[in-house]
Structure 1
Amino acid sequence: MEMKKVTITVIGVGLIGGSIALSMRRDPNIRVVGYDVRQEPLDKALTLGVIHAGTTDLQTAVREANVIFLAAPVEQIVATLRLLQDMELQPDVIVTDVGSTKSGIVRQAVEVIPPHVTFIGGHPMAGSHKSGVEAASDRLLENAYYVLTPAPGTAAEKVERLTELLSLTRAKVVQMDADSHDQVVGAVSHFPHVLASALVNLVAGYDEENAWHARLAAGGFRDITRIASSNPRMWRDVLLQNREHIVKIAKDWAKALEDVVELVEEGDPDGIERFFQTARDFRDGLPERKTGALPPLNDLYIDIPDHPGEIGRITTLLGAKQINITNLQIRETREDIYGALRITFHSQEEMEKGEELLRFFDYNVYRRT
């Protein structure tokens, strides 16, 4: 007997939406419809085989959908939820989102969606330094945590149904309440973006008086503040959506910083060492090869002889094995980091292949641990 076709609608065919769409297409009984406000990303998604059909008309996109993924920025997710309340939808449709904040979205969803629609908050905790549907991959969410935050009273069978569907992404689906999610993600993802940007702005101010700040910051400083290059408008909306937790975390951070400053002012060597040792112990205990709230750095650092042709030899070796790289950098400032050449790979798998190959050819290769 022929299996019934399931229609999945992805609203916002970008990196995350496109990656979810590609994962759904693993099942031949699933039809994926894409929606975007512009035709260009839909045309790209169709050309790349990300979706089966695409439309810029929201009602057309959702009319036959059994599951709807709202894969848009946080503020657009809320606006789309309001639009859906007046749309013709399937009687048992599940609506979910991919926003990195959950409490506000879940609360507003419960207020505006019709009774026959089930909303389940979602947050796939994976990303990439690239954006757009061109960067989408059916492996982006593999082994990443995918958090579901159903509202109280949500039917268990609907959560199970969405969980089963998400198994196609090969992510690790977990459940927690929306407020707990926002606290945890605020600490491990949202606030680090604030810290990185604040540190960059501080150094930028110093650089106005002494331009050596920018010159020497090109090494490790650039690495540890990489997330400061994230989309400013997106992070404005995230912080406003998660303001309660961000304010509390920021106050806790300010107190922790005051304690460190006090240790330095008092010249307390044991206290300063304990500060660094405690951080080191916890950080070294974190899982190394798990996908978390921040996208990993797929970088290798390589010692190379300072003579012509060496970089070309390395790229030729990698290219001959069809190992994809996305960036090369000669490192002039390398305090606390080994390797004169940094190579950024397309994925962790590519990085591991590259490391094995370069070690075979007797290069000294290091990871940033």
Structure 2
Amino acid sequence: MKQLTLGFIGLGLIGGSIAKALKAACPEISIIAYDINGSTLALAMEEGIADRISSSIDASFSACDYIFLCAPVSKNDENLKVLKQFLTPSCTLTDVGSVKGDIHRHIEEAGLSGQFIGGHPMAGSERFGYINSKAILLENAYYILTPPPCVSEKRVEDFRQLVTAMGAIPLVLNDEQHDYVTAAVSHLPHIIASSLVNLVKDSDSKDGIMKMIAAGGFKDITRIASSSPDMWQQICLTNTGNIASLLEDYVEALIRIKEQLYKKDAQFLYRFFDEARIYRDSFIETSSGPIKKSYSLTIDIADEAGALASIATMLALNNISIKNIGIVHNRELEEGALRIEFYEEAAIQTAREILKSRGYVIYEKK
């Protein structure tokens, strides 16, 4: 890959992870970064990720071969208006937002469609900010590209190669297809998970019995309800049509299920659960996708003093970071007494080997 100059407008979790991944793969790349957080820019310089920093969007970005719009979606339009005066025709402009229709409209209004390729790296974390960014965040994750029809094949291919260099998997869709697909497999599930959590909250007794026993399967299927409310507010406001349409279909499906419940239609109910089981089991096991994978396992441990501390210490001595650890009280949908969650796939693989070598019985979900 030839020496490139990359610009980043915003250097948070995703922007920082892209910059780190490309620096690791191609150290000769030069990076210019702008962020409203001065300490972020200082840290990026200190770590050798940014070669030049800017306190504003200025003429220094005119040297860029690629510019990544990585600020919050609500700021992209404002930043784009300032950036436009510094763009050269050869520069490829891209973004990292999870809704593409809105940014494509702004790009078209700005007359920049010929040099824009929408981007959506399907990776993330509950943590945020540059300080939590890491090159491996994008590893083997789908990175959806949404070029307008007028963008040249060469420009798309060059950007595809850049995405591959990050360690991600490029996938080309149009912006309308992207927004419909992500509404179905990401946006709607977040609404459903949050609705289920709020339903239990509103239905619980004063002594919180539901909350107390929700730590098993219910907590797993609603895990994504812990995501940023700011981000999901913006997603719902920008992909409204697709989400509302699919939500209407989902509501109709729930009504049909309710009707069959009242009829006690055993055949319908069996088919409903069986078809879902078969389709779900056909999913490819991968770390990519809009809803990040949870790296967790459960193990059997003795109910005795020091048992949990012993395992935590054993993993710590092997430099394995634990994201969460705790006793599973509701095991209706889960085997094992102790659940351990990790940040990365590599960590769970190492932990599995260590625990097995010490004689622990390990259970992992499909």
Which residue pairs with 2:281 in the alignment?
A: 284
Give yes or no for contact 1:129–1:295 (8 Å, CA) kept in 2: no
Residue 105 of structure 1, aligned match among 100, 103, 106:
103
Q: After the TM superposition, which of the residue ranges 337-346 and 181-190 deviates more from structure 2?
A: 337-346
Give yes or no for contact 1:126–1:140 (8 Å, CA) kept in 2: yes
Which residue pairs with 2:347 in the alignment?
A: 350
Which residue pairs with 1:139 in the alignment?
A: 136
In structure 2, distance between residues paired with 1:343 and 1:283: 24
Q: After the TM superposition, which of the residue ranges 32-41 and 95-104 deviates more from structure 2?
A: 32-41
In structure 2, distance between residues paired with 1:205 and 1:297: 27
Residue 23 of structure 1, aligned match among 21, 24, 28:
21
- Give the alignment's Cα RMSD to 1 decimal: 1.8
In structure 1, distance between residues paired with 2:195 and 2:96: 27
Deviation at 1:208, TM superposition (A): 5.3
> How many residues get paired?
365
Q: Secondary structure of 1:317's match?
A: helix
Post-superposition Cα deviations, 1:274-294, rounded to whole Å, max 9, x if no partner, equal: 111111100011012341111
In structure 2, distance between residues paired with 1:257 and 1:114: 43
Deviation at 1:75, TM superposition (A): 1.8
Deviation at 1:43, TM superposition (A): 2.1
Which residue pairs with 1:84 in the alignment?
A: 83
In structure 2, distance between residues paired with 1:114 and 1:186: 26
Residue 122 of structure 1, aligned match among 93, 96, 119:
119
Post-superposition Cα deviations, 1:206-253, rounded to whole Å, max 9, x if no partner, equal: 125562121112332222112111111211111111111101100110
Which residue pairs with 2:58 in the alignment?
A: 59
Unpaired runs of 5+ residues, structure 1, are none
1:1-369 correspondence runs (5 A) = 5-25=3-23, 26-60=25-59, 62-85=61-84, 87-114=85-112, 118-207=115-204, 209=206, 211-369=208-366
Deviation at 1:78, TM superposition (A): 2.7
Give yes or no for contact 1:33–1:52 (8 Å, CA) kept in 2: yes
In structure 1, distance between residues paired with 2:241 and 2:60: 35
Q: Secondary structure of 1:32's match?
A: strand
Q: Secondary structure of 1:301's match?
A: strand
The letter for the 2-side match of 1:225 is T
Deviation at 1:104, TM superposition (A): 1.7
In structure 2, distance between residues paired with 1:97 and 1:19: 14
In structure 2, distance between residues paired with 1:358 and 1:224: 26
Identity %: 38
Give yes or no for contact 1:35–1:61 (8 Å, CA) kept in 2: no
The letter for the 1-side match of 2:5 is T
Give yes or no for contact 2:126–2:228 (8 Å, CA) kept in 1: no
Deviation at 1:361, TM superposition (A): 1.2
The letter for the 2-side match of 1:222 is K
Q: After the TM superposition, which of the residue ranges 281-290 and 60-69 deviates more from structure 2?
A: 60-69
Q: Secondary structure of 2:231's match?
A: helix
The letter for the 2-side match of 1:279 is A
**Structure 1 residues 24, 210: closer, same or farther in 2, change over 3 A?**
same
The letter for the 1-side match of 2:296 is D
**TM-score, normalisation: structure 2:** 0.95
**Structure 1 residues 61, 230: closer, same or farther in 2, change over 3 A?**
farther
**Structure 1 residues 282, 317: closer, same or farther in 2, change over 3 A?**
same
Give yes or no for contact 1:39–1:55 (8 Å, CA) kept in 2: no
In structure 2, distance between residues paired with 1:184 and 1:9: 29
Q: Secondary structure of 1:139's match?
A: helix
The letter for the 2-side match of 1:78 is D
**TM-score, normalisation: structure 1:** 0.94
Deviation at 1:88, TM superposition (A): 1.9
Unpaired runs of 5+ residues, structure 2, are none
